Structure 1
Amino acid sequence: MLAANLLQAAQGEELAKNGKFFDEQLDQSDAKARIVQKYFFAWANVIMPTAKAMGNKIGYFDLYAGPGRYKDGAKSTPLLILERAIETPAMASMLVTMFNDANEDHSSSLQAEIDKLPGIKKLKHKPQVLCDEVGADAEKYFAETKIIPAFTFVDPFGYKGLSLKIVNGVTKDWGCDCVFFFNYNRINAGLNNDLVRKHMDALFGTERVEDLRKKLKGKSPEEREALILEEISQAIKAMGGKFVLPFRFKRGARTSHSLIFVSKNFKGYEIMKHIMANESSTEDQNVASFTYSPADASTPLLFSLAQPFDKLLAELPKVFKGETLTMREIYEQHSVDTPYIDKNYKEALRQLEVAGKITADPPAAERPKRAGLSTFANHVRVTFK
């Protein structure tokens, strides 16, 4: 479905030039790969029943796929995706894959690794490996072409080739979600570099990035990071990406990069939120940090003093005062752009019920119990006083 000459990949960053990026799979790369793979298979299970009636195809597209293996022998995401598909007959009959890398050595290596996979011919649709750059042609193609339900991974080494138009193009059609690599260190440095102005314009939008530069003046490193992530998220939402979810990777105390998930469907947002919560290094009051940091994981007591669960307990009675909703309705309405997942809402509502700040139907005495505590199912109706 995707023509080889319509996709580009602009790699040209230092790591790509000297080949060190694929020397070994660092723990952060491993976490990134797990997030992508877990989401793809969860997404596929949800999408496949409907996709069968829409042409019997689902897609996995990787615009910066790499050579297939790290130099230490570890398989990268494309091979792991294909192996799982080979083992799953329903997916093997539906999956359309496209892997692109502008580095000819990488694309050749990936093709060779794919060809060696046991059972590769079980796939109805032969994996497509391209060697092109990502730029205006790709933007035009995805903007103008209706694509099959697909999950797209955009993982450039820096910022070249990453644009709002690419993200919007690969998420515009039904069932299409995307996760992209946001190299915070390079983008933070590039915002005030005139030599890469066009790349920053493509990533944030011309007016938004000019406004961002003004906002960043005099800000601390922590404030800069928050502002930059907020602006990229709002820029994506302005183009139609209803649900945006960043997951940060830290080296020491500083964020090095993020994975940013984009979807137009709450179900996809919910699935990814659970995956990212489980991949977080730390929790505070059972609320995930949505950050992977070996340093935080080794010093959990120093992670946070924000008390996020207490904040949720205080917010819910104010936000929904006088209203009656189900637990699920409360969760869907309030959880967007917060770190909370459904279990946090169920526990908060249970505590609010005990405190007499809400009434529930059915009440606690009539609901099932687990570990001596009443459960809070999705259908339970809650009235805020």
Structure 2
Amino acid sequence: MSTDSFFERQREHSRIKAEIVSKYLPAWANVMKGRARGPLNYLDLFAGPGYYEDRRPSTPILAVQAIAARDDLASLVRTVFNEKIPARAQALRQALDALPEAARLRYRPQVFHGETNAELAEVLRNTALAPTLAFIDPCGYKGLTRVLVLAILKNWGSECIFFLNFDAVRRALQNLTVEPHMQALFGTERAARLRELLPCLSPREQEPTVLRHLEAAMKEVGAQYVLPFRLRVTEPQRRLYHVVFVTKNALGLKIMKGVMWSVSTDLAAGIGSYEYAAEDERCPSLFEPITPVDDLAPELLRYFAGQTISVGQVFQEHQTRSPYIEKHYKTALLGLEAEGKITVIVPEGKRRRANTFPDWLVVQFPPQES
């Protein structure tokens, strides 16, 4: 899709990615407000004009509205937008100036126009930033680089959400004329390896292979956790995208898993698939299906065999390696208790309500059967 036609009307994948960002932003700011010494930053490097031609709001408008909805965040979060096309940058300024919610912000939204390129990434890399949530949403892949992600993640409390046009990246990995862009995203050796691998793989194998290499590339520049959300659409043609969350913090991972779970279309067995598929695109997922929540209970028995550990620790230790969210863990533990497979200890001075699993409860897991 050309950049000229992108903002004609909002498409479903754009709505979902904007929903993910606008839900996560206030949750992140709420956590950071008690930890940071000063204001927080929300940075959108490919902002667009603010509205689609059908007058539906895009991510910058929704982000400002999400911040303005809470007085404590409205006085704390600075919003900075960049758009390389001058006319769109001006349209965004006008849209924000006319937005009633923007008047509630302590810091007036800032709009710049310029290209998000290697020079800007180096400037950010050499600048100490306040805790920053960055949204990187290029039209294609140009400008999305490991150096740019590093420039954000190097700062304490900072995280990235970026939009990946998977089909465009897959084609680019086979196109030597755009090889520098793929090297900037994956690293030189990793991009070369993918260029060799992809022709030998089926479509079912290509997607997880590219995502594994992307995860490795992000971890190489400081990420601890990389969480992709898959978007399958059919309009105007079949396309595959990902919203990718990159963080150093397990709490951020926990919160984003909840956000992505809430917008998943497949909630079979009570588990979000971390995927949104258009109504007419109900073909089987290219990913391995997520294990039903009933399988979490035996996995916990195996993983924590012989340990005595609090409920909160069970979740914190295991959630970074699974797709499950907190309520799934507590449901699994309730089932194990009902079946007599674990022993639950209520610490002295505490009272437990029926059918609850507060974080302070202590669980004794039986030893692994030989």
- TM-score (structure 1 length as normaliser): 0.87
Give the conservation status (yes or no) of the 8 Å contact 2:290–2:323.
no
Among 19, 25, 43, the alignment partner of 1:40 is 25
**Counterpart secondary structure, 1:325:** strand
Aligned mates of 1:88, 1:312 — CA distance in 2: 36
Residues 212-243 of structure 1: CA distance to partner in whole angstroms, max 9, x if unpaired?
A: 33443422112110111121112111221112
Aligned mates of 1:137, 1:120 — CA distance in 2: 30
Residues 197-225 of structure 1: CA distance to partner in whole angstroms, max 9, x if unpaired?
A: 10100101111222233443422112110
Aligned mates of 1:40, 1:161 — CA distance in 2: 22
**2:363 maps to which residue?**
382
Matches within 5 A, 1:194-209: 194-209=176-191
User: For the structure 1 residues 94 and 368, does the alpha-carbon distance in structure 2 shift closer, same or farther, using more than 3 Å as the test?
Assistant: closer
Residues 326-372 of structure 1: CA distance to partner in whole angstroms, max 9, x if unpaired?
A: 12211111111421011111111222233333222139xx8422xxx
Aligned mates of 1:28, 1:216 — CA distance in 2: 25
- Give 1:259 deviation, angstroms: 0.5
Q: Which moved more, 1:309-318 or 1:152-161?
A: 309-318
Give the conservation status (yes or no) of the 8 Å contact 1:149–1:176.
yes
Structure 1 residue runs of 5 or longer lacking an equivalent are 1-13
Percent identity (aligned): 38
User: For the structure 1 residues 305 and 187, does the alpha-carbon distance in structure 2 shift closer, same or farther, using more than 3 Å as the test?
Assistant: closer
Residue 28 (structure 1) aligned with residue 28 (structure 2): no
Residue 210 (structure 1) aligned with residue 228 (structure 2): no
**2:125 maps to which residue?**
143
**2:71 maps to which residue?**
89
User: For the structure 1 residues 307 and 44, does the alpha-carbon distance in structure 2 shift closer, same or farther, using more than 3 Å as the test?
Assistant: closer
User: For the structure 1 residues 315 and 90, does the alpha-carbon distance in structure 2 shift closer, same or farther, using more than 3 Å as the test?
Assistant: closer
Among 311, 315, 318, the alignment partner of 2:302 is 318
Aligned mates of 1:334, 1:383 — CA distance in 2: 16
**Counterpart secondary structure, 2:298:** helix
- Give 1:294 deviation, angstroms: 2.2
**2:2 maps to which residue?**
15
Aligned mates of 1:299, 1:217 — CA distance in 2: 23
Give the conservation status (yes or no) of the 8 Å contact 2:75–2:106.
yes
**1:162 maps to which residue?**
144
**Counterpart secondary structure, 1:99:** strand
Among 73, 82, 104, the alignment partner of 1:100 is 82
Matches within 5 A, 1:196-275: 196-251=178-233, 256-275=240-259
Amino acid in the other structure paired with 2:23: K
User: For the structure 1 residues 322 and 296, does the alpha-carbon distance in structure 2 shift closer, same or farther, using more than 3 Å as the test?
Assistant: farther
Two-structure CA RMSD over aligned residues (Å)? 2.4
Among 240, 261, 269, the alignment partner of 1:277 is 261
User: For the structure 1 residues 165 and 172, does the alpha-carbon distance in structure 2 shift closer, same or farther, using more than 3 Å as the test?
Assistant: same
Give the conservation status (yes or no) of the 8 Å contact 2:273–2:290.
no
Q: Which moved more, 1:80-89 or 1:274-283?
A: 80-89
User: For the structure 1 residues 146 and 376, does the alpha-carbon distance in structure 2 shift closer, same or farther, using more than 3 Å as the test?
Assistant: same
**1:10 maps to which residue?**
none
- Give 1:381 deviation, angstroms: 1.5
Structure 2 residue runs of 5 or longer lacking an equivalent are none
Aligned mates of 2:273, 2:70 — CA distance in 1: 33
Give the conservation status (yes or no) of the 8 Å contact 1:284–1:307.
no
User: For the structure 1 residues 306 and 245, does the alpha-carbon distance in structure 2 shift closer, same or farther, using more than 3 Å as the test?
Assistant: closer
Residues 282-325 of structure 1: CA distance to partner in whole angstroms, max 9, x if unpaired?
A: 1221111000112389799xx99664324323322222221121
- Give 1:115 deviation, angstroms: 1.8
Structure 1 runs of 4+ aligned residues shifted over 4 Å read: 252-255, 296-300, 303-307
**1:113 maps to which residue?**
95
Amino acid in the other structure paired with 1:377: P
- Give 1:121 deviation, angstroms: 4.4
Aligned mates of 1:244, 1:75 — CA distance in 2: 28
Aligned mates of 1:324, 1:86 — CA distance in 2: 44
Give the conservation status (yes or no) of the 8 Å contact 1:281–1:296.
no
**Counterpart secondary structure, 1:292:** strand
**2:332 maps to which residue?**
348
Residue 329 (structure 1) aligned with residue 313 (structure 2): yes
Aligned mates of 1:125, 1:209 — CA distance in 2: 41
**1:4 maps to which residue?**
none
- Give 1:91 deviation, angstroms: 2.8
